[in-house]
Structure 1
Amino acid sequence: MARLTPDEPAPGPIVQGFSGTGFSVDGRVYPAVLLTPDSASSWSPPATASGLILDQLQPLLALERPPEFLLLGTGPALAFPPRPLVRALEAQGIGVEAMDSRAAARTWGLLRGEGRWIAAALMPLA
């Protein structure tokens, strides 16, 4: 696995901060966002993490190289994703790390800075 030097930013989208109830990513604000090492895209998640299904994460699963794991931002507070969703992702060799969306956005930056090949699904902050 290639590691980046401290002067080398990770390629791909960077969460620059929070804007109201959304995420500021590379100059654009997303209420909810899917992140891959290559792109950021708007996302329409269910109202709560308990309603998540595998099909809603399909853009992240369609990567040529599967992510090491999925950072799941569950909104303003930690909520556990449905067990069937976690099992389905694990069956594809993809682990799931659930946390509140602010923590997931910060973790995205840290892990991408290490050159980790991950994906993130960040639910709205409110």
Structure 2
Amino acid sequence: MKFQLDQAEGVNAITRVAPGQVWVQDHLHEQSVLVPWRGTVQAWAPRRFEELEPAHFEAILALQPELVILSSGAKLRFTHPSLYRSLIEARVGIETMDLNAASRTYTVLAGEGRKVVAALLLA
């Protein structure tokens, strides 16, 4: 699926998604990534939904988001709140979606200037 969206200068945009792949601007990623609204896209340790641990969510806090869009992979699955307790305690919102919905939602919110991070599991 390819996205077309006017984007603000300096804001990361997810421009394309395919099974096991995501493009941020023109850069292809084939492993889990954290995509902040601005700055460097970072590799994210968990490769699959079943590997998620509290430390993975604590790492997101360093990016200082107001909202996290979590991709649970190709299908929608929800994590137990105990895994993202650090986000709750920091009053950071979190929404879980499948990869396609998470990519679209992130790109719209980032384009609106929101401090959003996409935590994308591709598998």
Task: Structure 1 unaligned segments of length 5 or more: list them.
Answer: 1-5
| Identity between Structure 1 and Structure 2 (%) | 31
Contact 2:19–2:74 (CA<8 Å) still a contact in 1?
no
Q: What is the root-mean-square deviation in Å for CA atoms of aligned residues?
A: 2.1
Contact 1:15–1:23 (CA<8 Å) still a contact in 2?
yes
Contact 1:15–1:105 (CA<8 Å) still a contact in 2?
yes
Instruction: Compute the displacement of 1:86 (Å).
Output: 3.1
Cα pair distance change 1:44/1:87, threshold 3 Å: closer
Match of 2:68 in 1: 70
Instruction: Compute the displacement of 1:59 (Å).
Output: 4.0
> Normalising by structure 2, what TM-score?
0.81
Residues 58-114 of structure 1: CA distance to partner in whole angstroms, max 9, x if unpaired? Answer: 442113xx2111100000011101220233311111111001011101101100111
Q: Which protein is bigger by CA-based radius of gyration?
A: 1
- Is the aligned partner of 1:45 residue 2:43? no
Q: Measure, in 2, the Cα distance between the counterparts of 1:120 and 1:91.
A: 19
Match of 1:112 in 2: 110
Return the letter of the residue paired with 1:60: I
- Is the aligned partner of 1:17 residue 2:43? no
Return the letter of the residue paired with 2:116: I
Cα pair distance change 1:83/1:20, threshold 3 Å: closer
Match of 1:57 in 2: 57
Contact 2:54–2:85 (CA<8 Å) still a contact in 1?
no
Q: Measure, in 1, the Cα distance between the counterparts of 2:85 and 2:56.
A: 15
Match of 1:80 in 2: 78
Instruction: Compute the displacement of 1:12 (Å).
Output: 2.8
Task: Structure 2 unaligned segments of length 5 or more: list them.
Answer: none
Residue range with higher mean Cα deviation, 80-89 or 22-31: 80-89
Report how many residues are paired: 117
Segments ≥4 residues shifted beyond 3 Å: none
Q: Measure, in 1, the Cα distance between the counterparts of 2:16 and 2:7.
A: 20
